[in-house]
Structure 1
Amino acid sequence: MGVEPGAVETREERTDEASAHDEASAHDEPVAERRGSRLDDWWGRVLSTPRRRTIWYWGGPILVTLLAAALRFWNLGNPQTLVFDETYYVKDAWTLLQNGYESSWPEGANDEFAAGDTDVFSDDPAYVVHPPLGKWMISLGMAAFGAGDAFWWRASTALAGTIAVFLMTVVARRLFASTILAVIAGLLFAVDGNAIVMSRVALLDNWVMFFALIGFWFVLLDRGRSARLLDERLESARASGREPHYGPALWARPWVVAAGVAFGAATAVKWSGLWFLAAFGLYLVIVDAVARRRAGVPFWLSASILKQGPVSFLLLVPAAAAVYLASWTGWLVTAGGYYRHWAEEAGNAATGWLSWVPLSLQSLWHYHEAAYGFHIGVHGEHQWQSNPLTWLVMMRPTNMHFAATDDGSGGCGGDTCWSSIIGIGNPFIWWAAAAACLYLVYRLVRYREWQVGAILVGLAAGYLPWLGYLDRTVFQFYSIAFEPFTVLGLVFVIGLVLGRRDDPYWRRERGVAIVVIYLAFVLAISAFFFPIWSGMPVTPTFRQLHFWLPSWS
C-alpha cells in the first residue's frame, strides 16, 4: 500500500493535531458519562452465556440454602434435653403418633424422655391450647427414626427453616425481578439468629412462618396470572362488541386455592395464622380492584367487592377451613382426646336449629371456646416475656437454654463453661430492617409500589394483631412468623442503595460498596453470635460480650 507525498508526519505532529481535534470536539458535544461499575463489567463477562446465567439463576439460591442447612443442622442434637417449650410440643408430638391425641405425662418426665425412656406417658388426654398440625409436623422425624435422639425431635423443624430460605429467594425474585436481590434475601434469612434458633428448636412458630411464607408466594403467583387472565377476558369481550361494565368473575385461580391451603395450615399450627388468611384475603380484593381500574372497567370498585370478592372468598376460605378441620383428624377419629365426649354429657348438646351438628363437632367447638378463653387470659409473669411494641428492635430476646460446667470438662478452654440458646437476631439485620420497614410505610404513601404494599400486608398480618394483647405473656420469638417480611423490606431498600446497572458510575460504585461492606459486617456478626445461637460451650466472658443491650441479659 503506497503513501502519498506529503502524507508522512511525525508522531509529535499527529499528537498535536489529535489533541487539537479532541479539544474542539469537547466544546462541540458532551462526552458520554460512564455507566455502571467495574463489578458490573466483570459480572457481565461472567454471565456472558445462557448456560452461565442459568447456573446463577438456580445456583445462587441453592448456595444460600446449603449455607442455611449447615447452620441449622450442625450439631442439632445438642443439647440432649427438652429446650424451653419443647417440653410441651415434642412430647405432644410423640403422643400424637402413639395415641392420635395429645396425652398426659407424669411429673419429671422430661429427664426420662431425654434419657430415651419415651413411653412413660399415659392414655389420659392432655389439655392443649394450640391446634395439632405443628405437632404433627414436629413428629415426622420421630416417626421415621424414633424419639431417643434430640436430633430427630428437631429435624423436621430445621428442614422447614432451611426450605424457607429457598422460598425467600423465590419470593424475592418474584417481587424484585432480580436474582442478586433474591440471593441477598436468602442470605440474610439464612444467617439471622432468630431464624437459626427457631429452626433449631422444636417449637410451633417456625411452622407458622413456613406456611405463611408459602401462602404469600402463592398470592404473588396469582397476582400475575389473574392480571393476564383479566386482560384476556376483557379484550375478548371488547372484541365482540361488548363493553364489560363490571368485568368478568375469575374462577380459574388455582393459586388462590393453594394460598388458602397454606394459610389454613398456618392457622392449624397456631391461631395467629388466621391473620395471614384475613389480611391476604383483603389484599386479593384490593389487587383485583386496582387491576380492573387500570384495565378501564367502569365499575371497578363495586365489581371487585361484589362480583370478584365473593368468588375469591369461595376459592380461599373453604380450602383453609378444610385444611384446618383435617388437622384435627386424630382427635376426631379417636375416643381419648380432651373434651372429646363433652357434647355427649347430659345438658351439653346443642338444641334447636343446631341440633343436627354431629356431637363430635360440637365437642370440638367447645374445646375451641375453652382454648380461646385460656389464650386471652394468659397474664402471668415470665422472666423472658417481651412487650410486642419492642419486637421490631429486639429489646427482650428469649433465653431458651442455659447450662454450666465448672470442672474444666465443658470444652470451651476454661474451667468454667456456659452454653446457651438465645434467640437474639443479628442486630445488623434487625435494626436495619426495622428502619427499612418504617421507610416502606412512607414509600407506599409516596409511590404506591405494589411490592411495598405486598410486603407491608405480610408484616401487618404477622405483627399488628399482637399489639392488641400488650398485657399478655408473649415472647420475642413469636416474631419469626413475620420476619420474612421485615427481611424483604430490608432487601427492597438494599435494592435502592445498589441502584441500577445503567446508573452513573460514581453512584453505582458507591451503592455496590455500601452493600458489600454491609453484608460483610452481617456475616461477621453472625459468626460472632453463632455460638450462643447453637448451644456451643463458651467462657462466661465471651458470652457476656454478646449482650449489647442491658435487656438482653
Structure 2
Amino acid sequence: MAQAQVTERPAPAAVRAVERDRWRWWGPLAVAAFAGLLRFWDLPYPNAFVFDETYYPKDAWSLLEQGYEGVWPDGANAQILGVPQIVPLTPAPEFVAHPPLGKWVISLGEWAFGLHPFGWRIVVALLGTLTVLMLARIGRRLFGSTLLGCTAALLMAVDGLHFVMSRVGLLDGVQLFFVLAAFGCLLVDRDRARALLRAARAEGGAAGDQVGLGVRPWRLAAGVLLGCACAVKWNGIQILAVLGLLTVLWDQAGRRWAGARHPWRSMLRRDALPAFLSTVGVAALVYLLAWTGWFVTDGGYGRHWADDRAGLSPPHTPVLEVPLPQVPMTWVPAALRSWWHYHAQMYDFNTGLSSPHTYQSNPWSWLVQGRPVSMYWQQVPQGQQGCTASEGCASQILALGTPLLWWTACFALAYALWRWFFRRDWRAGAILAGVAGVYLPWFQYQERTIFSFYMVVLVPFLCLAVAQMLGALLGPPGCPPERRRWGAAGAGLIVLAVVGCFAFFHPLYTAEVIPMDDWRARMWFTSWI
C-alpha cells in the first residue's frame, strides 16, 4: 500500500505522448470503419452484372468448380440473377485475357455466399476497405504523422472511383490491394535497412561499404505481393519494375547516408542481386503458382497445345510478312510449352485490342476525369422503382473519381515534383514512383482500347500526394500559431469540399434512382454522358 502511495504520476507530456501513440491505430481503424460502412451498405444492389462482371464472376465460379475458366451456356445471366440455383457449366474451355489470381480471389466470396452479386462483390469490398486502413498506416510511416496518414485514407474513402471499384466484381480493385500492400512492405523494409545502416554509421564511414543487410523478410513479402499483382493483371509487371528499382535506389541512398565511400558500387555488389531475387524472382514464382489450377487439370484453354508439337509458337508479329519459325524446345515439358503459347495469345490480345468502345479514353484525360466509364444504366419510367418525376428517372453507376479530389491531386503532383527535384524529398519521390509505375506505361497504348477506371490503382498515390500538400499548407510544428491556424483552416476546407463533392455524386456511384433533372445537374461535362 505504501508503495502505491508514493508511485509518481506520469508527466503531462508523457500522457499526451501515450494518447498520440494510441491514435496510431484508433485513427486508421476509425477511417477504415467509415469506408467499410460506405462500401458494404446495400452491396448486392443492383441485382445485375455491372460492366465486366459479366466475365469475371463467371470465370471465378468456373475456377472454383473445375480449376479453369469454362464456356457458359446461353441464358446463364438471366438464370444466375433470377433463380437461386447453380448454373450448369459447359466443359469446353474459354480463352481469357487475364491471369487467374484475381478471379480466384473473387471466388472466395462465391464459395462462401454463392453465385450472386453479394457473393462476387464481398471480397472486393473487403479488400477496398483494407486498402483504406493500409493507406492510413502507410501515410503515417511515410510522413511521420498519424493526422496526415488518416487524411490520405479519408480522401481515398470518399473517392468515387475507389468507391465504385470496391463495390463491383472486377479485377482492378484486387490488384490495387496487392500493389498498395507491396508498397507498404517496401517502406517497412527501408526503415529496417536504415536501422541497420544507422548502427554501421556509428562504427565509422567505411561501415557503409562493408555492412551486409542480411535476409530482408519485408522485401520478400513485397515480392510475393507484386507477384500477386502481376497474376491479377499484367500491368503489374511495370509496377514491379518501378518499385524494384525504387528499393535499390533507397539502398544506395542509405549506404551514402551511412558514410559509404562508394555507395553505388556497394549497392550493386551487396544489394542489387538480393533485391532482384527478392522482388522479380519471388514474383515470377508466385505468378507461376497462380496458374496451378490450369496445370493440374486437363480442360483449360490450350492446356494440351504442345502435346503433338516439338517447339514453341512465337507471338504474332504483324510487321513480318512471313511467320517466325518454331523454336525447338523439346526438353521443356509440354505443359510449360502450352502455357507459353497461351501467354503469346494473351499478349497478342492485350496489346492489339482496338475495337471501338463508347467509353474508351486516352490517358491524357484520366487525371482530370475527362471520360469516366458508365458501368450501369437504367432509365426508369414514372411510377416504377419509386420514381415520381414526370419525365422519368435515371439509375446509373459511373466510375468517376471525386472531381475535386482528382483536380486537387493535379496540383499536388506538381508540388511533389517540386519537392523531389529541388528539395530531394524521398517521400515525394516514393509517391511519384508509384504514379510512374501505375500511370505512365499506359501512354504507349495510344491505339489500344483502354478505360479510365484502370486508374483505381493510382488513387492511393494521389491521396498521399494531396496529404503531403495539405501538410505543407498546415505548416511545420514549429511555425507561428497564427500560421498553423490559417493553414489548418485551409487544409480543412479542402478536405470538407472533397467530402461534400463525394456526397453530391453519391447517387451516381450507387445506382440510386433519381429524377432526370438531378442526373443532368451532375453531368458537369458532355464527355461524362
Q: Work out whether the TM-score is over 0.5.
A: yes
Do the aligned partners of 2:396 and 2:510 also contact (CA within 8 Å) in 1? yes
2:426 corresponding residue in structure 1:
450
Moved more, 257-266 or 505-514: 505-514
Does 2:330 match 1:362?
A: no
Shift of 1:505: 2.4
Q: How far off is 1:306 after superposition?
A: 3.6
Q: Which has the higher mean CA deviation after the structures are superposed, 308-317 or 160-169? A: 308-317
Secondary structure, aligned partner of 1:222: helix
**Greater CA deviation, 444-453 or 299-308?**
299-308
Decide which of 457, 461, 467 is 2:443's aligned counterpart. 467
Task: Please state how far the C-alpha of 1:536 moved relative to its aligned partner.
Answer: 1.0
Counterpart-to-counterpart distance in 2, 1:275 and 1:305: 22
Following superposition, the deviation at residue 352 of structure 1 comes to 8.2
User: What's the offset of the Cα at 1:244?
Assistant: 5.0
Which TM-score applies when normalising by structure 1? 0.88
Contiguous gaps of at least 5 residues in structure 1 = 1-44
The CA RMSD over aligned residues, in Å, is 2.0
Give the Å deviation of 1:523.
Answer: 1.5
Q: 1:309 Cα deviation (Å)?
A: 0.5
Deviation per CA, 1:147-173: give whole Å up to 9, x if none. Answer: 1x3111100000010000000101000
2-side partners of 1:319 and 1:403: how far apart? 46
Gaps of 5+ in 2: 1-11, 314-325
Distance 1:385 1:523 in 2: 28
Deviation per residue, 1:268-310 (Å, 9 max, x gap): 0000111121111111121111111122212211221243211
Deviation at 1:73, TM superposition (A): 0.8
Report the secondary structure of 1:343's partner residue.
coil
C-alpha distance 251-467 of structure 1, shift in aligned 2 (>3 A):
same
Structure 2 counterparts to residues 11-410 of structure 1, below 5 A: 49=16, 52-116=19-83, 117-147=85-115, 149-233=116-200, 235=202, 238=204, 243=206, 246-348=209-311, 354-410=329-385
**Per-residue deviation, 1:143:** 0.4
Equivalent pair of 1:234/1:247 in contact (CA under 8 Å): no
Q: Compute the displacement of 1:227 (Å).
A: 1.5
* Partner Cα separation in structure 1 for residue 517 and residue 327 of structure 2: 68
Q: Using the alignment, how far apart are the partners of 1:438 and 1:392 within structure 2?
A: 12
Q: CA deviation at 1:230?
A: 2.7
Distance 1:361 1:183, change over 3 A: same
Q: Please give the per-residue CA displacement for 1:113-165, whole angstroms capped at 9, x wherever unaligned.
A: 22235423301100001000000111111101211x31111000000100000
From 463, 485, 488, give the equivalent of 2:464: 488
Query: Mean Cα displacement is larger for which, 497-506 or 448-457?
Result: 497-506
Say yes or no: does 1:542 pair with 2:509.
no
> How far apart are the structure 2 equivalents of 1:249 and 1:362?
40
Distance in structure 1 (CA, Å) of the matches to 2:527 and 2:312: 50
For residues 506-517 of structure 1, the aligned pairs below 5 Å read: 506-517=482-493
Larger Rg: 1
Paired letter, 2:113? F
Greater mean deviation of Cα atoms: 409-418 or 256-265: 409-418
Percent identity of the aligned residues? 42
- Relative to 1, partners in 2 of residues 1:353 and 1:314: Cα closer, same or farther, differing over 3 Å? farther
Contact residue 104 and residue 123 of structure 1 kept, 8 A? yes
CA shift in 2, pair 1:295/1:47, >3 Å: closer
Map Cα deviations across residues 28-48 of structure 1 (whole Å, 9 max, x no partner).
xxxxxxxxxxxxxxxxx9995
